Chain A
Amino acid sequence: MTETPLSMEEIAPAAPPRSQWADVWDQFKSHRGAMVGAYIFVFIVLMVVVGPWVYWNDPKIVPTGRDFLTLRDTRPIYTVLWEPGAKVNWLYPLGTDNLGRDMLGRLLTGGRVSLAVGMAAMILSVVLGTVIGVLAGYFKALDGILMRLTDLFLALPLLPLLLVAVLLFRDRLSGAFGPEGGTFILIVTLVGVTSWMQTARIVRGDVLALKEREFVLAARSIGTRPLTMITRHLLPNVMSPIMVSATLGIATAIITESALSFLGFGFPPDFPTWGKLLFDAVDRMELYPERVLWPGMMISLTVLSVNYVGDGLRDALDPRIRGR
């Protein structure tokens, strides 16, 4: 029995080589929840970014005189469906608040702030977590002290301390950067500084494992410096857990910011964020439930979609699950 020699076509791979990210994308696409989540998140981001330019009402305008009486406390236009006599105005699709400011406009600008806070805080926390994790994992001398620091931060009661810190620094930063900029910087810093610990732990663990691998030894044997070693060889290999915790970090940051606003420790009163809108509407929710529902829905929907994306990303980046 003789074996027929394989021809060139049979040896050659059937398909052109695929990059790792193409595989990840394929796996991600097959996770239905993650795809829906991604669409919804992109839609919310677009709506919030583009919306205020396209939308016709300025959320900051407080009508005066006769306008104030006709425009205040209008209901969303869909209220007509079950309450024919309701006070609605077709130019104000979601109605107005008790000062006559347009709700949809406030929702859109509020979303800008909430998402900006979420993204900025997430970036800060991921950068902090990655730096601390890599340093602790790569340099043995730093490991002990950095991990004690991480444990210490994990043992702090964070929400009470956040509340105290907001109260402490709000006035000083408001003086330096203006009431809005100051609060923005304060909240982003606080949320970032109090949420890096998980990322640091995961990154440290991965770096510790990678350090023992042959390619690191090979790189070291040709005299790679620590900085190059970290940026060229270690960081690309810990990208996937970092990406997952970055996605989930947006969700945590948005919730924390809204919680602070809800407890009255957030942005100044005339500066809407979703949490702030919700907080302002609670007192009159019996008469105007929609003012509570819309901001709350927006927060929940954003966080839900981000969590689904994070879930899908985790599956897609895990090579053991891929292809199943």
Chain B
Amino acid sequence: MLTYTIRRLILSVPTLLFISLVIYLLLELAPGDPMAQVPLTVPPDVKEKMREALGVGQPWYIAFPKWLYQFFVVEPMYFADAIFGTNWSEGQQRVISWQTRSPVMDIVIQRIPQTLWVVGVAYIVAILIALPIGIYSAYRQYSWFDNAGTFVTMVGFSVPPFFSGVLVIVVFSVWLGWFPSIYDTTHKVIDWASFKVQLQQMIMPVMVLALQITSQLSRFMRASMLDNLNQDYVRTARAKGLSEKTVVLIHVLRNSLIPVVTVIALGIPAIFGGAIITEQVFKVNGIGQLLITAIQANDLPMVQTLTFIFAVLIVLFNLIADILYGILDPRIRYD
């Protein structure tokens, strides 16, 4: 298991390097100039110097390794400096956003909490709802609960978040006026009243995201339970005289959860992608919204860094899912 993990970790390095190169070369084609917003009164030679300072116009075989060095060496050094108070990174150039002329990672770190709050809570809520629905649907297959559950999950699966989001805004914030339609990220939780406000503004984005995740997860949970319920060991367990609760909730559930856990792990990076749309609908200024504004403003270092972070998350959680599968299911052996 350990050798497998190490081998996969080593293998993921060239994959990630290649992905970052692909992203870089794609962005290299982008039209647009970071100096487009600079006033016309700035003389051309000064503009040229500013371009040089931002590293624009260098050939890719110089600029790309430079970005790699900045991302993998300089940024962690800054991070260490911030935590341990060292000064390794003095005088080192960081990845600079063209939009704000400040380090990209600083902005990313400012935006992460908002995304994590909304997406993380939605994911937990979705898991808590999806698992019981999936289990009961499978246990009472073709009952009215199962049929209704299948229909609802199918609807949740089919309604895109940019419609369900708008729909809940129309219903709950325009017609009923219960919740605010815009997520206020400057809101601070200091006491009970402000916590309630925070809860109110979180309900709608969480609901939209959770609906989507719940439908995928509960469909998966149901299928996995159904696969296991007809197995011989279930009959054996019943024949031994175990109670129905033990059979379903201990024997069957534990076996059915194995693939579901890996799906949960695999879904985490995809959620950041899905959250791009939800963040846009509810104006949550998280990472997804940052990416959209960066793309619209032609802020290439920012786009490069963010897409690369997404790629790292995908590769990482793929690895985690595979390892979890191996740990949870002793029948799987990676040799």
Residue positions of A touching B, CB distance < 8 A: 33, 151-152, 154-161, 163-165, 167-168, 171, 251, 255, 258-259, 262-264, 275, 278-279, 282, 285-286, 289, 292-293, 296, 299-300, 303-304, 307-308, 311
Contacts and interface: CB of A to CB of B under 8 A. Distances in A.
Nearest to B219: A311
B27 A164 contact: yes
Contacts of B30: 164, 167-168
B163 A163 contact: no
Contacts of A33: 151, 154
A296 B167 contact: yes
Contact of A289 (B23, B29, B174, B296): B174
B176 to A, nearest CB: 13
A198 B173 CA distance: 39
Contacts of A165: 26
B31 interface: yes
Given A168-B31, A304-B154, 15 more contacts: A155-B318, A156-B314, A157-B273, A157-B311, A159-B276, A160-B291, A163-B292, A167-B296, A292-B167, A293-B167, A293-B170, A296-B167, A300-B163, A303-B158, A304-B155
B19 A156 contact: yes
Given A259-B162, A307-B157, A155 B277 contact: no
Contacts of B18: 152
Contacts of A171: 31
Interface of B: 15, 18-19, 22-23, 26-27, 29-31, 151, 154-155, 157-160, 162-163, 166-167, 169-170, 174, 269, 273, 276-277, 280-281, 291-292, 295-296, 303, 306-307, 310-311, 314-315, 318
A179 B215 CA distance: 37
Find the residue from B29, B170, B296 having the highest chain A CB count within 10 A: B170
A262 B277 CA distance: 9
Contacts of B169: 285
B170 A285 contact: yes
A81 to B, nearest CB: 16
B50 to A, nearest CB: 23
A157 B307 contact: yes
Nearest to B272: A157
B164 to A, nearest CB: 8
A258 B15 CA distance: 31
Contacts of B15: 151-152, 155
A300 B157 contact: no
